[in-house]
Amino acid sequence: MTLWWAIATVCLGCYALKLAGLAAPRRILDHPVVSRFAELVPVALLAALIAVQMFSENGELRFDLARTAGLGAAMIALLLRAPFLVVLATAAVITALARSFLG
Amino acid sequence: MDTIGDRSAAIRDGLGVGVAVGLSGLAFGAAAITAGLSVAQACVLSLLTFTGASQFALAGAIGGGGNLVAASAGALLLGGRNTLYGLRMADLLRVRGPRRLLAAHGVIDETAAVTLAQPNPAAARAGFTATFASLYITWNLSTLGGALGTSFLGDPAVLGLDVVGPATFLAILWPRLAVSAELRWLALGGAAIALAATPFLPPGVPVLLSAAAVLVVMAR
């Protein structure tokens, strides 16, 4: 599977998922198992993505102090109710500063 | 408030959300180039996938040296929540035929948030259109800008851009974690499963495995 095939699959698949919701009968959503699964899955996946992108490189566990400091700064920004882009900019700036000081 | 007032308030909300969130396409462009995608690949993803979390997930898994099948599966699982937004918005938008095919592309987190918050269907439709149009234009232009900028800058780690993907996911998750202890436990469980599996499984697979935490929560 080349990268372009993966991109085509994701583009087509994501569009089909969006269209399926608009076109499907309304009663599907009323099924409690469906709505609960839909609420929970993104939480687990997003948390797993954060963990893997923060603490692993090329399939091995690795702790990066500068990046961890950046995510900590993002958490503080979120606690202070900063806007979305301010949160991202804070994380990047703190990571870059920590990296330049730590060498 | 009268219907016309509701509609202009919905359009204002939509434009604000669309432009602000659309600018984070800069972060996606940067993350995609960092992960090894070309500028063209980053732009095609933003034009045709147009759902941020799936795009970041695909780029992140590829950047981690991941298996492409697992990377695509993770992106599609994340895209599954748009199906549920579509189910909830179908009654409000009432689109048929070619207009439904166009509107479907705009069924994402941000349009759902604006559309479902409106007091009546006319305002909901106006809010949907304003959010979709402004976010689509801004997201795609800023993806191009971020991708071009990063490919000229050299090593993105020097600028701290490697933290932008995780910080984006954290910001998306935050409102849900803030109100529910159960979701905080689920997030911790998902993260722990993925990290524990990382040394043993190909990149991309540990993230999919984290969905097992959902089954534990649902079985309780």
Are B83 and A57 an interchain contact pair (Cβ–Cβ within 8 Å)?
no
Are A60 and B199 an interchain contact pair (Cβ–Cβ within 8 Å)?
yes
Would you give per-residue pLDDT tens digits along chain B (220 residues)? 567 889 998 998 888 888 877 888 888 998 899 889 999 999 999 999 999 889 988 998 888 777 899 889 989 988 887 887 888 888 889 998 999 999 999 999 889 888 988 889 999 999 999 999 999 999 999 999 999 998 887 666 777 877 877 887 898 789 889 999 999 999 999 999 999 999 998 777 888 888 889 999 988 7
pLDDT of residue B51: 93
How many other CB atoms are found less than 10 A from the CB of residue B167? Answer: 31
Are A58 and B64 an interchain contact pair (Cβ–Cβ within 8 Å)?
yes
Q: How far is B78 from chain A (nearest CA, A)?
A: 6
Query: Left (φ > 0), alpha (ψ -120 to 50) or beta: where does B94 sit?
Result: left
Q: Running DSSP on this structure, what letter comes out for residue B108?
A: S
Which value, in Å, is the radius of gyration of the alpha carbons in chain B? 18
Q: How far is A88 from chain B (nearest CA, A)?
A: 6
Q: Tell me the sheet residues that pair with A57.
A: A60
Q: Compute CA B190 distance to the chain's CA centroid, rounded to the nearest angstrom.
A: 19
Comparing alpha-carbon positions, the chain B residue that sits nearest to A98 is: B160
| Arithmetic mean of pLDDT over chain A | 89
Q: In angstroms, what CA-CA distances link B219 with A30, B81, B176, B183, B216? A: 19, 20, 21, 14, 5
The answer to whether B79 and A14 have CB atoms below 8 angstroms apart is yes
Q: In angstroms, what CA-CA distances link B169 with A12, A65, A66, B196, B206? A: 23, 19, 18, 20, 17
Task: Report the complex ipTM.
Answer: 0.85
Comparing alpha-carbon positions, the chain A residue that sits nearest to B112 is: A18
pLDDT of residue A13: 97
pLDDT of residue B50: 97
Are A45 and B210 an interchain contact pair (Cβ–Cβ within 8 Å)?
yes
Q: Which among A43, A56, A95 is the nearest to B64, CB-wise?
A: A56
Work out the average pLDDT over A51-66. Answer: 89
| Per-residue tokens: B88 | 């909830």
- Give phi and psi for B95, each to the nearest 5: -100, 145
Does residue A80 sit at the B interface (CB-CB below 8 Å)?
Answer: no
pLDDT of residue A91: 93
Rounded Cα–Cα distance for residues A87 and A80 (Å): 10
- Give phi and psi for A60, each to the nearest 5: -125, 145
Are A94 and B206 an interchain contact pair (Cβ–Cβ within 8 Å)?
no
The percentage of chain A sitting over the pLDDT mark of 90, rounded to a whole number, equals 55
